[in-house]
Amino acid sequence: MTIRRMKTYTGGQGYVYQYYFVGKRPAPHVRSEGPSTEYIFDVTSDRKTTFAVSVFLSEEAVRDWASVHGRALTEAEQYGAVKMRLFQGFDEIEDMMTHGRRLEVSAGDLQKVLATLGVE
């Protein structure tokens, strides 16, 4: 049995979120952005209702970053970018359960987030 570590983040909208990483999987190919990896988090803002938030990292964004920087991203770097996108959702979306269940990391987002993390 896997024990998940609950983490806490105070969002810009004033909500205190608790979340944990559930896992990742290849996203269905029906997405317009092409193949992606779906990172799944379980989230609650009231300790009563838990809901899933999926953050999609497109293979194209990862390839574009690698071609600019001359190296592939590590798994940890990809997870870091996804987690930062989750935090951005917590900061910007008032009702995550209704409007923040599907977040995406675009090529531009990936570049900005990784620069913020000091990844070059």
81-104 pLDDT per residue, tens: 999 999 999 999 989 999 999 999
Task: Identify whether 110 is part of a domain.
Answer: yes
Which pLDDT value is given to residue 30?
57
Q: What is the residue range of 46's domain?
A: 7-116
DSSP H or E stretch at residue 91 = helix 75-92
The DSSP output letter for 48 is S
Which range among 1-5, 28-32, 74-78 has the greatest average pLDDT? 74-78
Task: Identify whether 25 is part of a domain.
Answer: yes
Which pLDDT value is given to residue 120?
84
Distance CA 93, CA 73 (A): 28
Taking residues 71-78, report their average pLDDT.
96
Domain count, the chain: 1
Task: Identify whether 2 is part of a domain.
Answer: no
Which pLDDT value is given to residue 86?
97
Task: Identify whether 1 is part of a domain.
Answer: no
Taking residues 105-109, report their average pLDDT.
88
Dihedrals φ, ψ of 12, to 5°? -65, -15
Per-residue burial over 21-44, b if 16 or more Cβ lie within 10 Å, else e, is beebeebeeeeebeebbbbebebb
17-57 pLDDT per residue, tens: 999 999 999 987 655 668 899 999 999 999 899 999 999 99
